Amino acid sequence: MKDTKKNNVLHLNKKIHKTAIVHSGAKLGQNVEVGPYAIIGENVEIGDGTSVGSHSVIKGWTKIGKNNRIFSSVSIGQEPQDLKFDGEKSFVEIGDNNTIREFATIHRGTEDGGGLTKVGDNNLIMAYCHIAHDCHLGNHIIMSNAATLAGHVIVEDSAVISGLTGIHQFVRIGKMAMVGGGSKVVKDVPPYVIVDGHPASVKGINIVGLRRNGISPELRRQVKEAYKVLYRSNLNISQAIEKMDQELDGNPLVEHFLRFLRNAQRGICR
């Protein structure tokens, strides 16, 4: 029997290569492109203007937003690499305007981790990157080639994770932080700092990142003061938080810095 629903999907979108396999249950928006030999599974939703490169596989309960560029041989929505996973329904959500380069992998969530792996908007995920189950990424993040996130990692907005870097499970990478290439990160990385090494340690403030994100000189000065209190005063974290509360103006960057420190679960890079 002819699958009319599948034919309607193909007709509406018009840019699906004849060798691609698109399940009749998939939902594709307008002007979606699907390249040669790509596979789109039953429960996948892809928003308007997104392109999917050749040989890519998108499966599972995966929702992808608008105007994303997914290059060849990308894998999204496959089962998590977690021995506790038992086939339960779980999800991947990807926002708008992301670039996901060749051979990157993004896996579904697990029941223990809330069941969702989430990627925000305007991110650049370069070739061979891995985003494991239950990771949550914000917006304007750069992951360079072969950067890898273990399960349950949180990456805040405008962070940069350089190539060949490994991030331990449950680690948090703070806003506008930068992780140097080839680093091993086993503790939380506070906002606005640079870490590097094996294991990673703090090398200074990410001044270039702050400037690129339009942070004013005055706010940058206050971030420097917060950094000095935490890393140059020989105080423990609790003492440093108390001193910052007492002595620094409550600008949004410093307030975020303090919230991050208060919520650190694995300790922080020193």
Comparing 5-14, 18-27, 38-47, 209-218, the range with the smallest average pLDDT is 5-14
pLDDT score, position 249:
81
| Cis bond upstream, residue 199 (ω within 30) | yes
Q: Is residue 237 part of a domain?
A: yes
pTM of the model: 0.94
Alpha-carbon separation of residue 238 from 253, 261, 267 (angstroms): 18, 9, 12
pLDDT score, position 76:
99
Of 82, 121, 134, 157, which residue is the catalytic one? Answer: 134
Q: Is residue 195 part of a domain?
A: yes
Among the three residues 187, 205, 223, which one is the final residue of a domain in this structure?
Answer: 205
Q: Are residues 133 and 148 in the same domain?
A: yes
User: What does the pLDDT look like over 48-58, one tens digit per residue?
Assistant: 999 999 999 99
Residue-wise DSSP of 66-124: SS-EE-TT-EEEEPPS-TT--S---EEEE-SS-EE-TT-EEE---TTTTSEEEE-SS-E
**How many CB atoms sit inside 10 A of residue 216's CB?**
12
User: What does the pLDDT look like over 199-208, one tens digit per residue?
Assistant: 999 999 999 9
CATH number, residue 122: 2.160.10.10
Token readout for 156 is: 């805040």
Whether 256 sits among the annotated catalytic residues: the reply is: no
CATH number, residue 256: 1.20.1180.10
Q: Are residues 82 and 190 in the same domain?
A: yes
Arithmetic mean of pLDDT, 183-190: 98
13 DSSP assignment: H
Q: Which of 152, 147, 128 is nearest to 137 (CA)?
A: 152
Q: Is residue 225 part of a domain?
A: yes
Q: Is residue 256 part of a domain?
A: yes
Arithmetic mean of pLDDT, 140-169: 98
Q: Are 199 and 184 in contact (CB under 8 A)?
A: yes
Q: Are 269 and 200 in contact (CB under 8 A)?
A: yes
Q: At 14, is the pLDDT very low, low, confident or very high (cuts 50, 70, 90)?
A: low
How many residues would you count in the chain? 270
Q: Is residue 171 part of a domain?
A: yes
Q: Are residues 221 and 191 in the same domain?
A: no
What's phi and psi for 174, nearest 5 deg? -75, 165
Q: At 8, is the pLDDT very low, low, confident or very high (cuts 50, 70, 90)?
A: very low
Q: Are residues 118 and 231 in the same domain?
A: no
Of 55, 130, 133, 136, which residue is the catalytic one? Answer: 133
Average pLDDT, the chain: 95
Q: Are residues 188 and 250 in the same domain?
A: no
Q: What percent of the chain has pLDDT over 90?
A: 94
Q: Is residue 70 part of a domain?
A: yes
Domains identified in the chain, total number? 2
User: What does the pLDDT look like over 102-132, one tens digit per residue?
Assistant: 999 999 999 999 999 999 999 999 999 999 9
Alpha-carbon separation of residue 248 from 167, 191, 242, 258 (angstroms): 31, 16, 10, 11
pLDDT score, position 11:
45
Per-residue pLDDT for 47 more than 80? yes
Per-residue pLDDT for 13 more than 60? no
Q: Are residues 80 and 153 in the same domain?
A: yes
pLDDT score, position 202:
98
Q: Are residues 187 and 133 in the same domain?
A: yes
Arithmetic mean of pLDDT, 84-91: 96
Whether 198 sits among the annotated catalytic residues: the reply is: no
Q: Is residue 45 part of a domain?
A: yes
Burial category of 62 from C-beta neighbours within 10 Å (exposed 0-12, middle 13-18, buried 19 and up): buried
pLDDT score, position 1:
40
pLDDT score, position 40:
98
Q: Which domain holds residue 224?
A: 210-263
User: What does the pLDDT look like over 218-264, one tens digit per residue?
Assistant: 999 999 999 999 999 999 999 999 999 999 988 999 999 999 999 99
pLDDT score, position 12:
56
User: What does the pLDDT look like over 137-147, one tens digit per residue?
Assistant: 999 999 999 99
Of 60, 109, 138, 151, which residue is the catalytic one? Answer: 151
Q: Are residues 41 and 114 in the same domain?
A: yes
Q: Are residues 56 and 178 in the same domain?
A: yes
Per-residue pLDDT for 135 more than 60? yes
